[in-house]
Amino acid sequence: MDNPWHRRIGGLALLLLAAFASYGQATKKSVFEHPDNEYGNSIYKIFGISRAIPIKQGYIVTKMADTLWGYIDMNKFDISEKLRQVAILPFGKQNRSDIRIVQLDSIDYISTKPQQLADSGRQEYMPVDGAMWRLVGRSACVRICGRYGILNSDNSYDLIVNEAMVMFSCNHRIEIPVAGYLSLHSDLYFFAKFVRQRYGTNIAPRDLKHKDPIQVILAKENERLRMHLGKTS
């Protein structure tokens, strides 16, 4: 006779087996998907670096339009020391010999995933003057990069300061003035002045208060390039 309790026990056993199997797979997978959690020691051992150095998931886009996906050694990205190369461990690889070394002068830009849920969006970087600057705006022919420093105010908090900004438009380098550490004016003052001088647009700092000034500059530069191409075609 068919016993309903036997069916329930059998079904429960199957569910438990499936749960343990999926847990094992998830744990094995998380070792190489979350380098900064308790499973992540394997990633740091492969790179042979301290856990104090950030490792982020992301990809490197080279100037040859190749895209390399994996775990990126972020050592020296946010300090002024010169970089010559970037190390990346491709996804699915688990050996030190699998690490690829990408020379800095062959990199177009690098994109990384947020490390925490609270982080907003991806962070992107681009080599400038032998260092990694934050890539804050880009299109097919335009890149806008910023170099940031940290000003220790009174030992109670750190203030991130935009030290310098540069735009690459069709490989032409254009410096974008910023407030820096000592200016009495804000960055918005300098952004508005740059837009007026370069694009002939009547704009004041207050007009940029509720806009992303980097995206305004990027849009103006793209429009300028389109007009230039239209005149030459």
What torsion do the CA atoms of 178, 114, 127, 162 make, to the nearest 10 degrees? 10
What are the tokens at 209?
């208060």
Domain extents in the chain: 30-118, 139-233
Is the pLDDT assigned to residue 87 strictly greater than 70? Answer: yes
For residue 139, give the amino acid letter: S
pLDDT at 154 over 50: yes
Q: Over 70: is that where the pLDDT of 150 sits?
A: no
What's the pLDDT at 27? Answer: 35
Decide which of 2.30.30.100, 3.40.50.150, 3.40.50.300, 1.10.3720.10 is the CATH code for 30-118. Answer: 2.30.30.100
Would you say residue 14 has pLDDT above 80?
no
Q: pLDDT band at residue 15, thresholds of 50, 70 and 90?
A: very low
Structure tokens at 22: 């999926």
To the nearest whole number, what is the mean pLDDT of the chain? 81
C-alpha distances in Å from residue 6, one per residue of 11, 15, 149, 170: 8, 14, 67, 73
Strand runs labelled E in 44-120: 55-62, 67-73, 85-90, 100-103, 107-112
Query: Token pair of 20, please?
Result: 């343990």
How much is the pLDDT for 125?
Answer: 95
Q: What are the two backbone dihedrals, phi and then psi, of residue 158, each rounded to the nearest 5 degrees?
A: -110, 140
Better-predicted residue by pLDDT, 161 or 77: 77
Distance CA 83, CA 168 (A): 20
CA separation for the pair 127, 62 (Å, rounded): 11
Give the H/E segment covering residue 142: strand 142-152
Element (H, E) at 145: strand 142-152
DSSP letter for 208, please: G
